[in-house]
């Protein structure tokens, strides 16, 4: 079995199909890992979801912030702004099936035997993989429960700014979600800076990229997306950045996990 991982698709279905064709991807024998943000801003979010759902037995997915936003829109917990692409998803005859499937997707995938993990934005340095998995499951349980609409209602916001094991209720779930799906820069104590989306600078001040702090990943490789301004991370031994900004005029990146070889395709 070959394994491939793809960066933020964001509705860019044509380059995804070209990349899979280039590597002769076979759902019967290969596996595709998707780092989240499957939808939004691109030309065909509906087609992207329908395609991934069609190969779901060969596909591992984590939810990104845009995927969660789509769910919030679909279930009426966020004012829907004019977005023809996401409107088509919500209005489609297949919407109910797609949304039930999305709600079953985790924030963290972890293959213990292969020492490979994946989440949308990253794992903060104060969490080891065991803790991160447990916290991801807290959100997953709610997403799959009858309380998921309440989760969307309280999902938005930048506070609390730092993790505390004693957090409870909606504050706890929001903070877990922010680390997994929106994190870029952190302070020395794990404080989130959710406003800065730029590439890191030499003089960054008190906030640094989350992956620049000492981590507890040990020998596990972590796949992530979310941060298009990085254009992929190549100088960190334990993290693999795959968002190369296809929706912003860059490329979609597909990586062969076993060899590390990368393939890129523009929209």
CATH superfamily entry for domain 3-266: Metallo-dependent phosphatases (3.60.21.10)
Tell me what pLDDT residue 80 has.
60
pLDDT value, residue 127: 97
pLDDT tens digits, one per residue of 102-117: 999 999 999 999 999 9
Residues of the chain with pLDDT under 70: 78-82
pTM over 0.95: yes
List Cβ neighbours of 12 (8 Å cut-off, separation of 6 or more): 42, 43, 44, 48, 246, 247, 252, 267
Alpha helices in the chain (DSSP H): 13-22, 45-54, 65-74, 84-91, 95-103, 129-143, 148-155, 169-181
């Amino acid at each position: 079995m070959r394994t491939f991982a793809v960066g933020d698709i964001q509705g860019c279905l044509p380059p995804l199909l070209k990349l899979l064709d280039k590597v002769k991807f076979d759902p019967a024998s290969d596996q595709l890992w998707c780092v989240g943000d499957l939808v939004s801003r691109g030309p065909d979010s509906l087609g992207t979801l329908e395609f991934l759902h069609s190969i779901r037995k060969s596909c591992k997915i984590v939810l990104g912030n845009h995927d969660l936003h789509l769910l919030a829109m679909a279930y009426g917990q966020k004012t829907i702004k004019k977005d023809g692409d996401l409107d088509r998803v919500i209005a489609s005859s297949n919407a109910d099936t797609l949304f039930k499937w999305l709600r079953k997707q985790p924030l963290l995938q972890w293959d213990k035997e292969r020492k490979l993990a994946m989440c949308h934005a990253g794992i903060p340095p104060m969490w080891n993989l065991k803790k991160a998995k447990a916290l991801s499951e807290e959100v997953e349980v709610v997403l799959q429960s009858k309380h998921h609409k309440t989760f969307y209602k309280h999902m938005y916001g930048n506070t609390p700014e730092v993790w505390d094991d004693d957090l409870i209720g909606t504050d706890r779930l929001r903070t877990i979600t922010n680390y997994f799906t929106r994190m870029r820069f952190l302070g020395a104590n794990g404080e989130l800076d959710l406003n800065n989306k730029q590439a890191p600078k030499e003089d960054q001040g008190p906030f640094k990229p989350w992956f620049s702090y000492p981590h507890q990943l040990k020998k596990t490789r972590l796949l992530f997306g979310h941060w298009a301004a990085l254009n992929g991370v190549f100088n960190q031994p334990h993290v693999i950045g795959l968002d190369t900004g296809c929706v912003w005029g860059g490329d979609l990146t597909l990586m062969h996990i076993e060899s590390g070889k990368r393939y890129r395709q523009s929209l």
